[in-house]
Amino acid sequence: MPPPSGAAGLFVSVEPATGAEVWRGRIGDIDGAVARAQRTWPNWAALPLANRIELLRRFANEARKDADALATLVARETGKPAWDAREEVDRVIAGVEHAIRAYAERSGQRRFDSALAGRTAVRHKPHGVLAVITPFNNPAHVPASHIVPALIAGNAVVLKPSEKAPGTAEALVRCLHRAGIPAAVAQVVQGGPEQGQALVGHDGIDGVLFTGSARVGIGINRRLAARPDRLAVLEMGGNNPIVVTDTPKITDAAALVIQSAFLSSGQRCTAARRLIVTERMYDPLIAEVKALADRLVVGAPFDETVPFMGPVTDNHAADGLTESFLYLLSHGGRAIKHLVRLNDSLPFLSPAIIDVTAMEQRPDVELFGPILQVVRVPDLDAAIAEANATRFGLTASLIGGSPQDYNRFWANVRAGIVNWNRPTTGPNDSTPLGGAGLSGNHHPGGAYLADSVAYPVASGEMDQPRAMIGVGLA
């Protein structure tokens, strides 16, 4: 959807929880931003790595100073509960040290010496100017998780955030500038899909770091298909399975399912969309999951009764999720807990659970919200087959089972993140974040983004020329 327009060139963001205006600003100048970045990035890349790292650590300190204000802004623009927003800001701050360690581990200089052959060295170079395009659901952490590694490596970045969370992106970039990072090296350009498409296709861009839906990511991939010289890092969503097999800990298993499916109102790329349950576990687990879901508090970010879930991003999303639930219901799904629109004018939805075992064709789509689809299967092998019945492959979790069961699950399930007795959500920033199929293009983020934001250069080196031709001379 295009950003809500006011006067020419202006748009606003609004609070999902209240409809009140949060931010108002102008649509950005893509050409101007890219030109400024092109002029400035060589000087940034020429700085010693230690200097760039020091400036990023100062950024962490600036974000720490502004943590309360940043968390408030995140909560207002996304609708997520205040505690959830604060956890996101804490990840931004902690992520700087994660990125520094990752760069040292994965992109450090290597040197091999030989008395006869001289030196062979491996060092890394930045690409240049990188476009960073990010979604609304984690408007501080996701941009920072791309920007910080890119800047450490010596790139300049132009951030085009979601039109639904422009204020958070602007506040984040202000922290970068206050830390001493040049304004032209880290820029934000506001706008909607049109500005994102213009940035991806701009001749001055050397690569794109994208997080968002598979539909948009596929479009970016097509746009860059004829440009193998351009970096494309695509982190997309998932139709993620959480599998529950034999375990005596029913209450704990249910809590893990709830966390996986309904944190941030199900608006996480790693959220569980499908609960796959073996026959023996079905009745006790579903009863416990439903009982827990019935107790979840849905409310505005700063409500006195602390909510577990806030609204979804807007009324358009709420309408789409309602239609999706009705589609599942009318095509063989059995409601365990109905999706309820809690406010006709605002996008508050209750958590919903629906058994889709009897559906002949289950839609392989990412329903980005609080709808959990349940599939009953006879055993773990059938559960793994069902987990793999998707074009996506971001994250998968096994709850219960033995170490041997987990080994079989890990070896056979198709996903970039595979957990055991842990939720599908909340990946560790010290590990790779990415998936297979429509979930990514094998350039994972997280700690492994260091592999993408700088490219390795191999060098054969000797202090003096020394060579001879030993064969083939007349």
Give the closest residue to 312 by CA, choosing from 15, 9, 96. 15
Residue pair 336/283 in contact by the 8 Å Cβ criterion = no
Q: DSSP secondary-structure letter at 159?
A: E
Q: Among all residues, which ones are annotated catalytic?
A: 235, 269
Dihedral angle, C-alpha 270, 271, 276, 282, nearest 10 °: 140
454-461 vs 118-126, strand pairing mode: antiparallel
d(CA 344, CA 366): 24
Query: Is residue 11 a contact partner of residue 4, using CB atoms and an 8 Å limit?
Result: yes
Nearest Cα neighbor of 196 from 135, 137, 154, 237 is: 135
Say which residues have a Cβ less than 8 Å from residue 112's Cβ, sequence separation at least 6: 119, 120, 121
Q: What share of the chain is helix, strand, coil (3-state, %, to 5)?
A: 40, 20, 40
Query: What is the pairing mode between strands 445-446 and 432-433?
Result: antiparallel
Burial 46-57 (b: 16+ CB within 10 A, else e): eeebeebbebbe
The residue among 212, 206, 167, 219 whose CA lies nearest residue 190 is: 167
Q: What is the C-alpha separation between 255 and 251, in angstroms, rounded?
A: 6
Query: What pairs with residue 277 in β-bridges?
Result: 244, 376
